[in-house]
Amino acid sequence: MTVIERVVDSPAELRYLVHRARADPHVVAFPYRQARELVGDEPEACTNGHSFTGGSATRGVRDWRPCRSGGHLAMWCRMCPDVRV
């Protein structure tokens, strides 16, 4: 048995891949799962200059939380009201 894993970046790409899999008689199953990834570099500081990098002493400054839109993760600064999506 051959297993091929594909990664797509949009719902349109997933729809196309599922359509192709359904049309191929050799495909037995095509399970899929959602995986979120950080795009770009992780911020090193909030806009007010509170550092997010470093050891455990500064890790307490940042906090990843779900965005109100439901589609993103937001980095909240615990020192000020700054939020970076």
| Amino acid found at 77 | C
pLDDT at position 41, please?
78
- Pair 45, 71 in one domain: yes
> Quick one: pLDDT at residue 52?
74
- Residues 49 and 67 both lie in one domain: yes
pLDDT of residue 22: 93
- Give, for 15, the enclosing helix (H) or strand (E): helix 11-23
CA-CA distances (angstroms) from residue 70 to 47, 82, 85? 23, 19, 12
Q: pLDDT below 50 — which residues of the chain?
A: none
Residue 9 lies in domain: 1-35
62: exposed, middle or buried (Cβ count in 10 Å: 0-12, 13-18, 19+)? buried
Provide the domain count of the chain. 2
How high is the pLDDT of residue 5? 87
Clarify whether residues 19 and 45 are in a common domain: no
Are residues 43 and 83 located together in one domain of the fold? yes
Question: Could you tell me if 77 and 51 lie in one domain?
Answer: yes
Residue 12 has a pLDDT of: 93
Task: Give the pLDDT of residue 54.
Answer: 64
Whether pTM exceeds 0.85: no
